[in-house]
């Protein structure tokens, strides 16, 4: 089968790498791709938002399956467009993608189906927000309704944070139309966990529970980022916790989406807070996470191409699905200054050496190849990943390989997975 992957991050490098191992795959294209996707497939110079050109390409090349990485094209209806041309595509329709595209939609669905989530209010103006927050004890979280590239959740701890949030949303108009409606929700205590369900709308399989590290610096300090590293399976996702997530979150959401006539097909990414063993939903995403994909896809034993095609056809075969019994860790190497301003074009060394080592996996992201050198070309430059028999080994050995890569301004967290490591050590 011939596959087209849409996107250009480390997540897409991982998907293309995994798909390239499938016996049934005869060709992989990635639009627009990056230096990493070019290692296992062919990059196509079409942006993720150019639906007409993507459809034309899929028709011309007889693509059997298109897989969408990022959320924006999903929320903009790429799946509906492909369906109208009878082209198989993995991902939710525009209506189903509202689970990520509109926080208000997600909250209302959760209220209706008793899915545990923080209590919330909806505000449609600055004065409404000011009124609701005037009586509300700190801390709480203000979230813009629409997509905001992962920057739309503002944690408010004091008056200064509130003033800053109001300035960002209403005076500086940082979020545009995405902030026409905002929600104010209670702050949830606990530890975060990412759970991914691959679903055809009725049946689903779970990937290994993962933990991301959103803050830029060690010990969860500094600004929120797209994610600085991940590991899986996270011990926090015990079988009991996962069972609760299935019964209280995944099953009711799939039922609700079906009952609305907009079944959810694709990856349901549940961003959860686990508190005293109880799961609470922070948010839903309608796509694979980045950098969680680098670890959870590394731990899928089954053929990924066959799996995603069966889902796109609405016929997920659960019985053959298998996960590895190993552990994976991925550390993101970023550009100095990320998630703020950063320079590009720094020469990277060590890539060939790491590729040849055969021990660590390299998932290039904001990286380009100029014919001679690999150069930095984005905020998150690459992910270095290790799969091993124990979490301790995966976490500790990944840092041996992180050292092999060098470029000016290399920035990474030195504590990816350490929270779980401490726990593992404690329970032993």
Q: Is 141 in the site for ligand AMP (CB under 6 A)?
A: yes
Scan residues 239-278 and list those touching ligand AMP (CB under 6 A).
271
Q: Which of 188, 323, 396, 404 binds ligand AMP (CB under 6 A)?
A: 188
Nearest residue relative to ligand AMP (C-beta): 153
DSSP characters over 19-55: HTT-TT--EEEEEE--TTHHHHSEE----TT-HHHHH
Q: How far is the CB of 228 from ligand GLY (least distance, A)?
A: 9
Is 227 a binding residue for ligand GLY by CB under 6 A? The answer is yes
Question: Residues 280 to 339: which contact ligand AMP by CB under 6 A?
Answer: 282-283
Torsion of CA 23, 25, 31, 36, to 10 degrees: 20
Q: Which of 209, 289, 366, 378 binds ligand GLY (CB under 6 A)?
A: 289
In the window 44-63, what residues touch ligand AMP (CB under 6 A)? none
In the bound state with ligand AMP, the residue whose beta carbon lies nearer, of 278 and 352, is 278
Can residue 122 be called a binding residue for ligand AMP (CB under 6 A)?
A: no
Per-residue DSSP letter, 148? -
Instruction: Give residue for tokens 């209506």.
Output: 95
Which pair of structure tokens corresponds to residue 64?
Answer: 């059997």
Q: Name 356's bridge partners.
A: none
Among 12, 168, 212, 303, binds ligand GLY (CB under 6 A): 212
Q: Give, to the nearest 10 degrees, the angle between helix 103-112 and helix 251-259.
A: 100
Calculate the alpha carbon distances from 53 to 72, 78, 114 in Å. 16, 12, 42
Q: How far apart are CA 353 and CA 351, in angstroms?
A: 5
Residue 292 sits in the site that holds ligand GLY (CB under 6 A): yes
Q: CA 95 to CA 106: how far, in whole Å?
A: 12
What is the C-alpha to C-alpha distance for residues 58 and 1, in angstroms, rounded to an integer? 12
Q: Which is nearer to ligand AMP, 118 or 123 (CB)?
A: 118
- Other beta carbons within 10 Å of 407: 21
Closest distance between ligand AMP and the C-beta of residue 237, in Å?
A: 16
Contacts of 131 (CB under 8 A, 6+ apart): none
Q: Which stretch binds ligand AMP (CB under 6 A): 149-157, 295-303, 308-316, 365-373?
A: 149-157
Which letter does DSSP use for residue 170 in this model? Answer: I
Say whether residue 1 binds ligand AMP (CB under 6 A): no
Closer residue to ligand GLY (CB): 227 or 350: 227
Nearer to ligand GLY among residue 282 and residue 375 (C-beta): 282
Backbone torsions φ then ψ of 14, nearest 5 degrees = -70, -45
Residues that bind ligand AMP (CB under 6 A): 118, 141, 143, 150, 152-153, 185, 187-188, 192, 214, 224, 271, 282-283
Residues that bind ligand GLY (CB under 6 A): 150, 212, 227, 285, 289-290, 292
């Amino acid at each position: 089968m011939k596959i087209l992957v849409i996107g250009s991050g480390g997540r897409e490098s991982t998907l293309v790498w995994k798909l390239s191992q499938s016996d049934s795959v005869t060709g992989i294209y990635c639009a627009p791709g990056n230096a990493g996707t070019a290692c296992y497939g062919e990059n196509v110079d079409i942006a993720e938002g150019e639906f007409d050109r993507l459809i034309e390409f899929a028709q011309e090349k007889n693509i059997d399956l298109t897989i969408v990485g990022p959320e924006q094209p999903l929320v903009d209806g790429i799946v509906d467009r492909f369906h109208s041309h009878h082209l198989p595509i993995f991902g939710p329709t525009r209506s189903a993608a509202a689970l990520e595209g509109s926080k208000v939609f997600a909250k209302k669905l959760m209220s209706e189906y008793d899915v545990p989530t923080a209590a919330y209010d909806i505000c449609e103006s600055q004065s409404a927000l000011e009124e609701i927050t005037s009586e509300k004890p700190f801390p709480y979280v203000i979230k813009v309704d629409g997509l905001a590239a992962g920057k739309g959740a503002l944690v408010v701890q004091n008056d200064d944070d509130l003033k800053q949030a109001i300035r960002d949303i209403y005076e500086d108009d940082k979020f545009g139309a995405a902030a026409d409606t905002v929600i104010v929700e209670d702050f949830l205590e606990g530890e975060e966990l990412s759970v991914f369900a691959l679903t055809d709308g009725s049946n689903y399989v779970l990937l290994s529970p993962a933990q991301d590290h959103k803050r830029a610096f060690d010990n969860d300090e500094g600004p929120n980022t797209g994610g600085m590293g991940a590991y899986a399976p996270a011990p926090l996702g015990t079988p009991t916790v996962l069972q609760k997530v299935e019964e209280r979150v995944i099953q009711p959401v799939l039922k609700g989406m079906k009952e609305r006539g907009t079944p959810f097909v694709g990856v349901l990414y549940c961003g959860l807070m686990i508190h005293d063993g109880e799961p609470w939903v922070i948010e839903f995403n309608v796509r694979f996470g980045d950098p969680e994909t680098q670890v959870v896809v590394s731990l899928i034993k089954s053929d990924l191409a066959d799996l995603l095609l069966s889902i796109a056809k609405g016929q997920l075969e659960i019985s053959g699905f298998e996960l590895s019994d190993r552990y994976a860790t991925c550390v993101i190497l970023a550009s100095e200054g990320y998630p703020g301003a950063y320079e590009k074009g720094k020469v990277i060394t060590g890539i060939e050496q790491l590729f040849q080592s055969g021990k660590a996996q390299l998932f290039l992201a904001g990286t380009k190849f100029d014919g001679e050198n690999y150069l930095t070309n984005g905020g998150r430059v690459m992910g270095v990943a290790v799969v091993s028999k124990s979490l301790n080994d995966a976490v500790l050995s990944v840092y041996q390989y992180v050292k092999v890569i060098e470029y000016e301004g290399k920035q990474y967290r030195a504590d990816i997975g350490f929270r779980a490591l401490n726990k593992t050590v404690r329970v032993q």
